[in-house]
A = this chain, B = another copy of it.
Amino acid sequence: MAADLFESMRTMRTIRRFEKREIPEEVLLEMVTAATWAPNGSNSQPWGFLLVREPGLKKALRDLYLARFEPAEAAYKAIAAASGGMNPQQARMMRGARYLAEHLDDAGVLVFPCVDKHRYPMIFDEQGKPRDPVTLYATIFPAVENLLLAARARGIGGCLTTILRFADAEVREMLAIPDHVETTVMIPMGYARDKFGPVVRRPAREVTYFDRWGGTLAGG
């Protein structure tokens, strides 16, 4: 599989609408393989990628997701209203988010990137809490980005969501995730019905500081 690195990153829009089409197992394994190439603490590789494809499970997760999405959507709209309303980009994003919530089971796979504490015990304390969340999450989210980039090369997109964080106990029970495994985001993924294309971002110069916070380039 060949793909241009910069073009893949530059055009990796969030995808929230999917074709109802299965993703072949070899493609799923290619995505996970790319994820495993990511840097991680002490090469401990404590990740586990739980891929949900069973239609009944996807529907049950959609119901759980939608029930937790609706209060989050209301809160987001209330915050936006208090500061003068949503701009067109925010309104488009919220429509997409609602579509996703209602059609979550259209995704070919729901990806749960997890961290197995047994594989990297030194970053957890005696109570099983991360000593420093930075160490924990620095070891899973670079892998998640690799997974998304590898998928992009196959026309497969997705969306990092944290809505199911509000239903973690139910998710764990539904998917048999044991206590020694940390859940993170959930990523619905599938062949993109939305178009990939250039992302809209602030320029690098506005978010780059030199030597001290707020420090600008010598050249201005």
Where the two chains meet, the residues of A that have a C-beta atom closer than 8 Å to any C-beta of B are 1-6, 8-10, 12, 14, 25, 28-30, 32-39, 41-43, 45, 47-54, 57, 76, 79, 89-90, 93, 114, 122, 132-135, 137-138, 140-142, 144-146, 148-150, 153, 159-160, 162, 165, 175-178, 181, 184-185, 199-205, 207-215, 217-219
Contact = CB atoms under 8 A, between A and B. Distances in A.
B14 A39 contact: yes
A43 B89 contact: yes
A133 B6 CA distance: 29
A48 to B, nearest CB: 5
A74 to B, nearest CB: 13
Nearest to A212: B176
B5 A185 contact: no
Contacts of A8: 5
Contacts of A140: 141
Given A5-B149, A177-B213, A207 B14 contact: no
Contacts of A32: 204, 207-208
A134 to B, nearest CB: 5
A142 to B, nearest CB: 4
Contacts of A6: 1-3, 34, 150, 153
Nearest to A52: B211
Contact of A34 (B4, B9, B134, B211): B9
B213 A176 contact: yes
Contacts of A159: 39
A122 B176 contact: no
